[in-house]
Amino acid sequence: MISKTHSCALSGLDGNIIEIEADLSFGLTGFDIVGLPDAAINESKQRIRTAMNNSGIEFPVKKITVNLAPADLKKEGATYDLAISIALLSANGDFSADATDSYVLIGELALDGRLRGVRGVLPMVITAFNNGFKRVIVPQDNAKEAAIVKGIEVYPASDLASVVRHFTTDDAKDNTSNKLKIFKLSEDDINNVSPNYSVDFSEVKGQWDAKRAIEIAVSGGHNILMIGSPGSGKSMLAKRIPTILPELTFDEALEITKIHSIAGTLKSNMSLFKQRPFRNPHHTISTAGLVGGGTNVRPGELSLAHNGVLFMDELPEFKRETLEVMRQPLEDASVTISRVAGTLTFPCNMLFVASMNPCPCGFYGSHDKICKCTPQAIAKYKGRISGPLLDRIDIHIEVPAIKYDDFEDNAKVETSAEIRARVNAARKKQLDRYKEYGIYSNSQLTPKLLAEFCELDSDCKNIMRMAFSDMNLSARAHDRVLKVARTIADLSESDQIKVEHLAEALQYRNLDKMGM
């Protein structure tokens, strides 16, 4: 007899329903799985057999053939254990063949019959819903992420035996205690996405210039590089950047949660992401760790920072080839991973924040400490960051060590919420201005749009001319300065870029001044 269950395979953020057909026939006993399974799926034969034995469920002693369809789609991981087990038992006549029709089954089996949590449950449940399925059974650990999806019944299960009981129980006999229970999140869990951060900009004393530059960066979506001696507060400032980004919308939160679900970085007690991510990869990270990859593809740090902040501390310490691969994703806001079976795409629309010391010892240009580095060592250190990557960073600022008086001065300290209000206003201005142009921030302005929206009057043109000769500005810096000036004008609610806006934007080109 043949029977059918359903599960789900992921490709990037999207999913496909997988039909699992099981056929039991008389003849030489055996267990074959066909339909492009990977090694982990082939090993599920052992897991399923042992899990059934240890759960008191009789394993069918017949010739078993399992087909995973569509056959041309590569299936990976141990996600199908549950769906294969139920298909087998259904084919064996343990319960009626149509009992499982409206279900998508997700879960890996442990040898004792427990259901282990798997990666990617949220996008799988979304796929199930989009394909018209009414119910999903998921491992207990994944209940919260699955329940984010409205309009589908989520049944968490802790072991195989309870799933089998769920299908064998006859509703008519009213033995409902054997049925799995539907899990629901509270309305607050899903709808309330107001931010709740444990850090705040009000904790950073002084550093007015750096804070101002960061506000501009966040307002216009400009990537930013902070240069300063050790302990000057670069990491402290960077960690607080998510707190001044606009509040998450539900769709943004859902996208972040999907990516983290696939990466396996969702904690089991977590449902929807309520905070913008802050990712801080170490400089020893591999290229695959940064952009994503591996046998069962996981998103990399670039995508884990989607809709949030990617902070690369000590930028020159990263391997050059690691930095090189970031150029395209920073441009396109998405990462494409090539594989034998085709390409996968993950979004990575984030603010890129980097920091570096001015030289290997960290004290070049410091007023208090003497730099011990040779000019060659300094040049080599700066040379580690490639020009094309720097090209994608609109704002460079110096973060000097804080003075004692700044610690005492509480007069101007602002909270993240106050700064965020100004950021929101500036972002709204950009959204309105660009709504017909397919972009939403000044950092995305193309040369054609720059000419339209960043026109300079003659005073501004004179300043730009002087900057080119005095500051050693490159042609590529020209457009960056214009974009930043546009954001500064937006923050001061001016339709026209004025001299003061341009002059401030020119200050954020520290590396050009340093001849890089």
Residues forming contacts to ligand ATP in the complex (CB under 6 A) are 204-207, 228, 230-236, 313, 357, 402
Q: Which is nearer to ligand ATP, 161 or 402 (CB)?
A: 402
CB atoms within 10 A of CB 440: 14
Within 13 A of 332's CA, how many CA atoms are on the CB side?
13
39 vs 370, beta carbon nearer ligand ATP: 370
Closest CA to 228 of 245, 244, 207: 207
Q: Shortest Cβ contact with Mg ion: which residue?
A: 235
Report d(CA 252, CA 246) in Å as an integer: 11
In the numeric block, the tokens 């972009």 are attached to 439
Q: Which is nearer to Mg ion, 148 or 224 (CB)?
A: 224
Cβ of 322: how many Cβ atoms within 10 Å? 19
The correct pick among 50, 168, 235, 275 for binding Mg ion (CB under 5 A) is 235
Helix (H) / strand (E) element for 291: namely helix 287-291
In whole angstroms, how close is the CB of 131 to Mg ion at the nearest point?
A: 47
Cβ count near 175 (within 10 Å): 12
Q: Which does 231 bind (CB under 5 to 8 A by kind): Mg ion, ligand ATP, none?
A: ligand ATP
Per-residue string for binding with Mg ion, 291-320, x by CB under 5 A? ----------------------x-------
- Which of 206/292 has CB closer to Mg ion? 206
Closest approach of Cβ 317 to Mg ion, in Å? 11
CB atoms within 10 A of CB 173: 8
Q: Which is nearer to ligand ATP, 77 or 400 (CB)?
A: 400
Amino acid at 83: A
What is the smallest separation between the CB atom of 370 and ligand ATP, expressed in angstroms?
17
Residue nearest ligand ATP (C-beta atom): 233
Q: Does 130 bind Mg ion (CB under 5 A)?
A: no
Judged by beta carbon distances under 5 to 8 A according to partner kind, the member of ligand ATP, Mg ion, none in contact with residue 6 is none
Residue-by-residue DSSP string for 479-500: HHHHHHHHHHHHHTT-SS--HH
State the sign of the Cα–Cα–Cα–Cα dihedral 284, 286, 292, 298.
negative
Give the one entry of ligand ATP, Mg ion, none that residue 366 binds, where binding means its C-beta sits below a cut-off of 5 to 8 angstroms depending on kind.
none
Q: How far apart are CA 490 and CA 476, in angstroms?
A: 22
Residues 6+ apart with CB under 8 A from 405: none
Both tokens assigned to 288: 């695959």
Shortest CB 207 distance to ligand ATP, Å: 5
Q: Smallest distance from the beta carbon of 205 to ligand ATP, in angstroms?
A: 4
Judged by CB, which is closer to ligand ATP: 357, or 487?
A: 357
**499 contact, one of Mg ion, ligand ATP, none, CB 5-8 Å limit per kind:** none
Of 243 and 357, the one with the shorter C-beta distance to ligand ATP is: 357
Closer residue to ligand ATP in complex, CB, 7/207? 207
The 25-64 site mask, x for binding Mg ion (CB under 5 A), equals ----------------------------------------
Residues 6 or more apart whose Cβ sits within 8 Å of residue 5? 19, 20, 22, 83, 84, 86, 87, 90, 100, 103, 105
Q: Which partner in ligand ATP, Mg ion, none is near 212 (CB below 5 to 8 A by kind)?
A: none
DSSP β-bridge partners for residue 116:
108
Count CA atoms closer than 13 A to 110's CA, side-chain side: 9
Q: Which distant-in-sequence residues (6+ apart) come within 8 Å of 365 by Cβ?
A: 358, 371, 398
Which residues make up the interface to Mg ion (CB under 5 A)?
235, 313
